[in-house]
Amino acid sequence: MPLRPLHQKNLLAKITDAARSAPPTRSASKMQPGTTLFPNQWRLNLLTEEQKKSLRGHLISLTFRNVFFVLLVETLLLGSLLVVGRHILEVNFRQSVEQALSIATTFGASNREIRALNEEIRNLQKIQSQFVPSGDLYGGILALVPSGIALNTLHLNIAGKNLLLRGVAEKRQDLNRLRDALAASPLIANLESPLSNLFVKQNIPFEFSGRLQIDAVPTPIFPATVNRETATSTL
């Protein structure tokens, strides 16, 4: 706010009178550094209260503006870093997807072959778990046949777990030994024979039927005192 002309004249007159009324204590040539020409200094305040308030508000607004500018710059920098980081992540993600697709395309046929091979191996394991050594089972039953017995039929239904044994015994004692051996064997259960076999003394035709115990097949199937050649030749 500009000063009025009358007020300016009064102010200048006061300053002039004050300067004249203050005698110098020492000459200007002998003044020490840091001393002033007028010991009783006057501090001039040419701003009104409204101007002070306006200036104070202007300084505060400048401070806020500078702080806001700094925050804005930091925000822009952080935003730029985030944009760059996002771009890098997108590039890496696309590269990973392309590599995965390339690997799947390159090794797809090999993976299918491996899966097919694994399926065949599982099927073979399943077949092996269900396999019954029929040769050992035949040999084990033939090892139970004593001398004096001539077999003409030996049928083993492994799937149905059934047994049918037919032949001729020279004497009743031979037939009894065969029956006892079959009944005592863990390979056969529920042994059955017609009662007509008991009324003939010599050259007795017989027929035995029963149920096979596949789970009881030992390894090896033959007893230590009987070899495979002897048991096979009996048939």
DSSP per-residue codes, 201-232: -EEEEEEEEEEE-GGG--SS-S-TT--HHHHH
Q: What is the pLDDT of residue 10?
A: 62
**Structural domain contains residue 186:** yes
pLDDT at 163 over 80: yes
Helix (H, G, I), strand (E, B) or coil at 157: strand
The answer to whether residue 227 scores a pLDDT higher than 60 is no
Q: Is residue 216 pLDDT above 70, yes or no?
A: no
In-domain check, residue 126: yes
For the cut 90, the answer to whether the pLDDT of residue 183 exceeds it is: no
Cα–Cα distance, 67 to 232 (Å, whole number): 108
Residues counted in the chain: 235
Give 4's DSSP letter.
P
Domain boundary among 105, 131, 157: 131
- Of 131, 150, 167, the one marking the end of a domain is 131
Averaged pLDDT for residues 191-200:
71
Same domain, 113 and 144: no
Amino acid in position 132 = V
Instruction: Give the pLDDT mean for 62-72.
Output: 92
Q: Are 67 and 120 within one domain?
A: yes
Q: Is residue 33 part of a domain?
A: no
Beta pairing partners, 151: 167
Band of residue 109 on the pLDDT scale cut at 50, 70, 90: confident
User: pLDDT band at 228, cuts 50/70/90?
Assistant: very low
Same domain, 144 and 215: yes
Full domain range(s) for residue 82: 46-131
127 and 175 fall within a common domain: no
CB 212 within 8 A of CB 162: yes
Number of domains observed in the structure of the chain: 2
The answer to whether position 205 is within a domain reads yes
Q: Which of 168, 165, 167 is nearest to 202 (CA)?
A: 168
- Give the DSSP letter string of 78-125: HHHHHHHHHHHHHHHHHHHHHHHHHHHHHHHHHHHHHHHHHHHHHHHH
Place of tokens 């300067």: 19
| % of the chain surpassing 90 pLDDT | 14
Q: What percent of the chain has pLDDT over 70?
A: 67
Given this model, what pLDDT does residue 27 score?
Answer: 44
**Co-location of 110 and 99 in the same domain:** yes
Top-confidence residue, 229 or 172 = 172
pLDDT of residue 25: 46
Q: Do 229 and 146 share a structural domain?
A: yes
The answer to whether position 183 is within a domain reads: yes
Do 138 and 127 reside in the same domain of the chain? no
In this structure, are 71 and 149 located in the same domain?
no
31 belongs to a structural domain: no
Q: Which pair of tokens denotes residue 124?
A: 């073979």
Q: Considering the entire predicted model, what is its pTM?
A: 0.40
Residues 186 and 213 in one domain: yes
pLDDT band of 92, cuts 50, 70, 90: very high
Cis peptide before 220 (omega within 30 of 0): yes
Final residue in a domain of this structure, among 131, 153, 180: 131
- Identify whether 210 is part of a domain: yes
197 CB-contact burial (10 Å; exposed 0-12 / middle 13-18 / buried 19+): middle
In-domain check, residue 12: no
Indicate whether 226 and 159 sit together in one domain.
Answer: yes
Q: Are residues 72 and 147 in the same domain?
A: no
Instruction: Check whether residue 228 and residue 146 sit in a common domain.
Output: yes
CATH number (domain holding residue 190): 3.30.1360.100
